[in-house]
Amino acid sequence: MENKQSFGVKSGTEDKVEGAAKNLSGKVKEGVGNAIGSHHLEAKGDSEQLEGQAQRKVGEVKKAFGK
């Protein structure tokens, strides 16, 4: 069986999993930043959550198109 996936191109499932992990990591950072009063860490957590959500959506689109 031949692997048709190019090097460096993630599958939809990989993007969904990595996106969920980034989202979770961002939530943790935001919570810790809030707890210790670090606005920088809170903002970084918010940013990471958005990245994760976007990556997860990319994965959903790839899966819908069979990638």
- Provide the pLDDT for residue 6: 57
Q: Confidence class of residue 2 from pLDDT cuts 50, 70 and 90?
A: very low
Spell out the domain ranges in the chain: 12-64
- The set of residues, in sequence order, having a beta carbon less than 8 Å from that of 47 and lying 6+ positions away, is 26
CB atoms within 10 A of CB 36: 9
pLDDT digits (tens, 9 = 90+) for 15-59: 999 999 999 999 999 999 999 999 999 999 999 999 999 999 999
Check: pTM over 0.75? Answer yes or no.
yes
What pLDDT shows up at residue 9? 79
**Banded model confidence at residue 4, pLDDT cuts 50, 70, 90:** low
Neighbours of 37 (CB within 10 A): 8
